[in-house]
Amino acid sequence: MLADKETKFDLEEFLPYRINRAAEWISLNFAKEYKSRYDMTRPEWRALAALGSLGRITATEIGVHSGMHKTKVSRAVKGLEDRRWLTRTQNGDDRRMEYLELTSTGKASYRELAKVALSYEARLVSLLGAQGVDNLKRALNAIEAAARSSTANRDLKRRFD
């Protein structure tokens, strides 16, 4: 006798849910560090990190390198500007865009936060162990490869404009 077609589903075994919960836990713990120190939002931290590691770039480039929507970038940049952590300079060739660059205060904050970030990552690595980190990186590589080929296939195109 066949049982009727009952669909077995357990949210706590569902991979998308598990990945999300793990990611949330990891980034909440890290966010506490920069929120409590600087009262920064996550988009601001990401924009700062992009500017700190890349130097003088445009808002669009921040979006590309931080995976954020352009409205998030726009507001994060405004936030950093209000703190005097970055300056804008007009591009003479194309005045639609501005080059963004960290001030010396911004750079100092970046260096400090980069250290915090690296030590947080080090704690995570020691938590997972060498083998665990290796597993995680392999999995991330596979997902990132899938994401790249799917966005190339116009699947998520509209989400990123």
Partner DNA sequence: TAAGATTGAGTACTCAATCTTG
Partner DNA sequence: CAAGATTGAGTACTCAATCTTA
Q: Which residue's CB is nearer to DNA, number 78 or number 137?
A: 78
Binding pattern to its own copies, positions 86-115, x when CB under 8 A?
-------------------------x--xx
Binding residues for DNA, rule: CB under 7 A, are 41-43, 58-60, 69-75, 77-78, 93-98, 159
Interaction of residue 59 with its own copies, rule CB under 8 A: no
Q: Which does 72 bind (CB under 5 to 8 A by kind): its own copies, DNA, none?
A: DNA
Count of Cβ atoms closer than 10 Å to residue 97 Cβ: 14
Q: State which amino acid sits at residue 77.
A: V
**How many whole angstroms separate alpha carbon 132 and alpha carbon 134?**
5
160 binds its own copies (CB under 8 A): no
Residue among 1, 2, 3, 9 that touches its own copies (CB under 8 A): 9
Checking 67-76 for CB contacts under 8 A at 24+ apart, the result is 68/43, 69/159, 69/160, 69/161, 70/161, 72/43, 73/43, 73/47, 75/43, 76/41, 76/43, 76/44, 76/46, 76/47
Residues that bind its own copies (CB under 8 A): 7, 9-12, 14-30, 46, 49-50, 52-53, 65-67, 111, 114-115, 117-118, 120-121, 124-125, 127-129, 131-133, 135-136, 138-140, 142-144, 146-147, 150, 155-156, 159
